[in-house]
Amino acid sequence: MAPRLQLEKDAWRWAEMVKPEDITHEHIELAYRIAVLACKRGTCRRNCKGNPNCLVGIGEQSWLGEIDENAFHNIDDPNSERRDKNTFVGLTNLGATCYVNTFLQVWFHNLELRRALYRFQNSRAEGHNTDSDYEPRTICEHLQYLFALLQNSNRRYIDPSGLVKALGLDTGQQQDAQEFSKLFLSLLEDTLSKQKDPNLQNVIQQQFCGQFSYVTVCNQCGRESPLPSRFYELELNIQGHKNLTECVTEFLKEEKLEGDNCYYCESCQSKQNATRRIKLQSLPRTLNFQLMRFVFDRQSSHKKKLNTFISFPEVLDMGPFLEGKEEECTYELSAVLIHRGVSAYSGHYIAHVRDAHTNDWYKFNDEEIEKMEGKKLQLGIEEDIAETAKSQTRKPKCSKGYHCSRNAYMLVYKRQTEEIDQTETIFEVPAFLQKLVDQDNKKFEEWCNEMADMRKQSVDKGKAKHEEVKELYELLPTEDGLSYEFVPLEWLKKWLDDSTAIKEIDNSQFLNIALATK
């Protein structure tokens, strides 16, 4: 292709020798370069402004090349939202509800709790049959339905809006995760305790509730004053400690009550020096350790996050810490809840949970779920999250059978049993809940079909347009002796992209020029 200036000279060279009255149609075609050969496909990077027959710049390569059906629509494949076989279901983050999602996944994988919730009944559920409509209203009913969806939904992730709304949570503000856990379990305990089935009445206590006593001993007379208390989790100070054992030991250590902090002894009828310690009396089947990463900073008068590395074992023997030791007290790690971020007031929560059926570990990050390779917990990626340089500390080496984390804020241990009856770990969703799940699955399938039809319509329209453009390209440029029309390049580009969105060609400017030259 000749340079643009050369084409310009060749097009108007005749004007120096031809008088105006002698100008012919051939001269006009020379001026407008009608006879210049079209550029070959792929030879130009952009449309040649000096050649009206160059089509490369108006999409020749894309329109005449290989067909890419994805170019004809902007609709994602609905099957990308479909749950794969033998995978778990995620939960949508509604804004700042990742802390809720982590606990929901941990509780869902507590099979005893899930079974109890499926057996939960109320006046509406008792009088309802599978042929009538049923919609969850109470918090317990919403949790039932949510667990049923997590078990049998066709979706890759589900929306927990119903439960979150029933709880009255602000989706735009991150709440205290530990406080949410305690309040929610307390609410479930209160609700289930009113059930007629005795197996449901005590399920929260059996699963999560342990007992200890604050025991004060008078140094003068030796009188013991126990103050019993219950707990859903043991709150452990991590500052200055390297491992879980040190944290538990400090929690149970003896405290001296002296000076202004003397203890009033009922036997002595006076204030006396004394010692106080916590005695663990019973442990639940699920033992939660709350690592106190968020502490009050006196200098700033705000909470701050401790990035202390803490190591913890896969198998934990609580025997040395338990008074009496009449029960099985060997526990196995079943979940680790992680807080990403350097601030105590923000950040992101995820959960690592062990599947009770296969013992495989999974990472639950709202909608995204990742299965860990092998059957071992892997926290390396979570510990590599970039934080401030000040908070960066070297990760200590972990012994075999131990894990180490500076972001773990709750550790969940399940009591070990000698034998596990697999028939008790597999159970059906109640019929009235399954009906709700089936209805949601039907809506999902209808949506998938609708999106697939829209994609097909867009692709069919795009292919038809593609064929139309290919036919047009066969007509461009014009051949010798055939009539032709001038079409503005910008108009032609828009027409090729979308023939329904462009306006008619406005030739008034050219007509005015023609009238002015007469």
pLDDT of 164-179, one tens digit each? 999 888 888 877 788 8
In this prediction, residue 467 carries a pLDDT of: 80
104 pLDDT band (50/70/90 cuts)? Answer: very high
Say if residue 469's pLDDT is above 90: no
Q: Average pLDDT, stretch 12-19?
A: 85
Question: Is 98 noted as a catalytic residue in this protein?
Answer: yes
CA 204, CA 195: separation in Å to the nearest integer? 12
Residue 266 forms part of a structural domain: no
Least confident of 100-114, 324-338, 385-399: 385-399
Instruction: Note the pTM of the prediction, 2 decimals.
Output: 0.78
Amino acid 286 reads T
Q: How many domains does the chain have?
A: 1
In this prediction, residue 431 carries a pLDDT of: 86
Say if residue 155's pLDDT is above 60: yes
Residue 8 forms part of a structural domain: yes
Among 27, 128, 348, 466, which one carries the catalytic annotation?
Answer: 348
Q: Average pLDDT, stretch 366-394?
A: 70
Residue 494 forms part of a structural domain: yes
Residue 292 forms part of a structural domain: no
Say if residue 394's pLDDT is above 50: yes
Residue 381 forms part of a structural domain: no
In this prediction, residue 473 carries a pLDDT of: 73
Residue 158 forms part of a structural domain: no
Mean pLDDT comparison of 1-10, 268-277, 377-386, highest-scoring range: 268-277
In this prediction, residue 259 carries a pLDDT of: 85
Residue 272 forms part of a structural domain: no
425 pLDDT band (50/70/90 cuts)? Answer: low
In this prediction, residue 83 carries a pLDDT of: 93
Mean confidence (pLDDT) of the chain: 83
Domain holding 44, by residue range, is: 4-65+485-512
Q: Which residue has the higher pLDDT, 515 or 440?
A: 440
* 325 in Cβ contact with 319 (< 8 Å): yes
Q: What is the pLDDT of residues 64-85, one digit of tens each?
A: 666 776 666 667 788 888 999 8
In this prediction, residue 62 carries a pLDDT of: 66
Q: Which residue has the higher pLDDT, 106 or 304?
A: 106
In this prediction, residue 8 carries a pLDDT of: 77
Say if residue 268's pLDDT is above 60: yes
Say if residue 470's pLDDT is above 80: no
Which pair of structure tokens corresponds to residue 397? 């080496």
Say if residue 506's pLDDT is above 90: no
In whole angstroms, how far apart are CA 262 and each of 79, 252, 257, 269, 278?
Answer: 68, 20, 5, 13, 18
Listed residue (358, 336, 340, 344) closest to 111, CA to CA: 358
In this prediction, residue 245 carries a pLDDT of: 94
Residue 145 forms part of a structural domain: no
In this prediction, residue 37 carries a pLDDT of: 79
In this prediction, residue 125 carries a pLDDT of: 62
Q: Which residue has the higher pLDDT, 517 or 221?
A: 221
CB atoms within 10 A of CB 3: 10
CA 15, CA 421: separation in Å to the nearest integer? 100
CA 349, CA 347: separation in Å to the nearest integer? 7
Among 39, 48, 54, 98, which one carries the catalytic annotation?
Answer: 98
Q: C-alpha dihedral over 427, 428, 429, 435, to 10 degrees?
A: 170
In this prediction, residue 288 carries a pLDDT of: 95
In this prediction, residue 390 carries a pLDDT of: 47
In this prediction, residue 389 carries a pLDDT of: 44
Strand, helix or coil for residue 414: strand
> Which own/partner pairs from 114-119 qualify as long-range (CB within 8 Å, at least 24 positions apart)?
114/147, 114/151, 114/427, 115/427, 116/192, 116/199, 116/200, 116/203, 117/143, 117/144, 117/147, 118/144, 118/147, 118/148, 118/427, 118/429, 118/430, 118/433, 119/197, 119/199, 119/200, 119/430
In this prediction, residue 51 carries a pLDDT of: 77
